[in-house]
Chain A
């Protein structure tokens, strides 16, 4: 089985660009990735592409071949839809494709156009990641579902809104210098606590923004990288995916995310490492509580113990376990189909020292990416390592 290297990365700014189509944004991201890889466009054999709400936002389904065309790539092209884990799922399948030797060079990416829908339209579009009969008809929204998990967490393990606020403050601080981020603004705990409520206990600043954007990477086999003398120092050494029941009410746990636990255990075993080997992580913080659930599910903390991590300065840039040095979905933005690949790009650049926050993790060799779909009914986890 061959190893898998990241040969090139590219993304657009994340933010509010209602006039930009997904194809326009993906053209920019894929151009960036292919140029960065330094390979001829014709070398790319296949595209795996993540997108969640194309039908709703742009009346455009079947985006795989469309995006291959836009990227100037000939060959098979498939769209992956797994709610907010869409491009994480695309990465996972691409890794398997390269490993099994069928393909040597893959373009993997994602894009999402959301802000043209407005807040109400985007809220509705995101809500359909929940169970239509049993959740949406009860008035569940995406923030509402995470609020149910937050209150279940408080009930079971304790914790407070103030603990959650520290997650938002931390991730905003990490995005301050990131010109690609949507929210480059410092916030305070007081501002988070005083923000208008969205779904109690979550307020406006507990939630990631609605975003437009695209991301892309070129993945190659070890052999291809060596034969073509590519500058591709980061390898994807572990991949895992987990699933859970669709509706929150049908899950065994309301304050834990076993799909992510399964995904990370699989990814750790695949890479031959454990949680203590991870130097830096990007996790799916669509809401502040989501980051808490994520750092527990990937084994950084026992269930019930991750709630104070940001507040205690453990997951901050200068802490022992820095999490979301990019600003996370919370501050960088969350164009849902683009997020999983964007997280991979952030960790790869942190490992090569090219990230604006690389100084926070100067010796980092191992990174982790956690990308969750819906209320974590699907999750992918990837381990990235500097190739020895």
Chain B
């Protein structure tokens, strides 16, 4: 895609690739993801890194058949929102034949079919 770098986001994705997923937590217990200067809930600037658990629960998912041009060769693929406690993450679910809500998955980083870019991927834990 573009040449732009996203400070905070790229570093975060790299951490997930290394199995060290994290999120931010403010003093009031709200979770958020980088890049972030303040808690989006309460505006507090004191954000601490917290390790995320090794696995989360799929809250909702969909299999996309009509994709944007950037994902057209990936289709069909499954997008899921996964609850890791402090935060929910959105990524693609792979390695499941009949995906359904409630299953446990772990987060990792894999390649996107269409562009070869990094992609946040969930696989069964």
Instruction: Identify the A interface with B (CB < 8 A).
Output: 119-121, 123-124, 127, 133-141, 143-144, 147-152, 155, 196-202, 245, 247-250, 254
- Bound Cα distance from A194 to B2, whole angstroms: 38
- B50-90: CB near A (< 8 Å → 1, else 0) gives 00000000011111111111111010010101000001111
Instruction: Provide the residues of chain B in CB contact with A140, threshold 8 Å.
Output: 64, 79, 90
**CB-based contact A254/B59 at 8 Å:** yes
B119 within 8 A of A: yes
Which B residue sits closest to A133, measured CB to CB?
A: B9
CA distance in complex: A143, B61 (Å): 12
Give bound CA distance, A149 to B120, whole Å: 20
Which residues of B, 85-125, contact A by the 8 Å Cβ criterion?
87-92, 101, 112, 117, 119-120
Q: Which residues of B does A touch, CB under 8 Å?
A: 6, 9, 32-33, 40, 59-72, 74, 77, 79, 81, 87-92, 101, 112, 117, 119-120
Residues on the B chain within 8 Å of A147, using CB: 62, 64
Contact A249 B66 (CB under 8 A): no
Q: From residue B109, how far is it (CB to closest CB) to chain A in Å?
A: 11
- Which residues from chain A contact B77 at a C-beta distance below 8 Å? 139
14 contacts between A and B (CB under 8 A): A121-B69, A123-B66, A123-B68, A137-B119, A138-B91, A139-B77, A140-B90, A141-B71, A147-B62, A148-B61, A148-B62, A149-B60, A151-B101, A152-B81
Q: How far is the CB of B4 from chain A (nearest CB, A)?
A: 10
> Which of B66, B79, B117 meets A198, CB within 8 Å?
B66
The one of A138, A150, A151, A152 in contact with B90, judged by C-beta atoms closer than 8 angstroms, is A138
**In the complex, how many angstroms separate the beta carbon of B121 from the nearest chain A beta carbon?**
9
Question: Of A144, A152, A202, which contacts B59 at CB under 8 A?
Answer: A152
**Cβ-defined contact, B71 with A250, below 8 A:** no
**Nearest Cβ distance between residue A208 and chain B, in whole angstroms?**
14
| 20 extra A-B contacts, CB within 8 A, seeds A144-B62, A250-B40 | A124-B69, A136-B70, A137-B120, A138-B90, A139-B67, A139-B68, A139-B74, A139-B77, A143-B64, A144-B79, A148-B60, A148-B61, A151-B60, A152-B81, A155-B101, A197-B63, A198-B64, A247-B90, A250-B87, A254-B60
Say whether A249 contacts B64, CB under 8 Å: no
Q: CB-CB < 8 A to B92: which residues of A?
A: 138-139
Query: Known interface pairs A139-B92, A151-B101, A249-B81. Does A196 touch B65 (Cβ–Cβ under 8 Å)?
Result: yes
Select the residue from B6, B62, B91, B117 with max chain A CB neighbours within 10 A. B62
CA distance A119 to B64 in the complex (A): 15
Determine the chain A residues whose CB is within 8 A of the CB of B61 once the complex forms: 148, 151
Complex contacts, B90 vs chain A, CB 8 Å: 134-135, 138, 140, 247-249
Q: Which residue of B lies closest to A139 (CB)?
A: B71
In the complex formed, the residue of B with least CB distance to A196 is B65
Given contacts A139-B77, A155-B101, contact A133 B65 (CB under 8 A): no
Least Cβ–Cβ distance between A307 and chain B, in angstroms? 16
Query: What distance in Å separates the Cβ of B79 from its nearest Cβ neighbour in chain A?
Result: 6
Nearest CB on B from A256, distance (A):
13
Output the least CB separation between A134 and chain B (Å).
6
User: How many Å from the CB of A133 to the closest CB on chain B?
Assistant: 5
* Beta-carbon nearest neighbor of B74 in chain A: A139
CB of A198 within 8 A of CB of B33, answer no
For A148, give its contact among B9, B68, B74, B81 (CB under 8 Å).
B81
Q: Which residues of B contact A248 (CB under 8 A)?
A: 81, 90
A197/B40 in contact, CB under 8 A: no
Name which residue of chain B comes closest to A252, CB basis.
Answer: B41
Smallest CB separation, A118 vs chain B (Å): 10
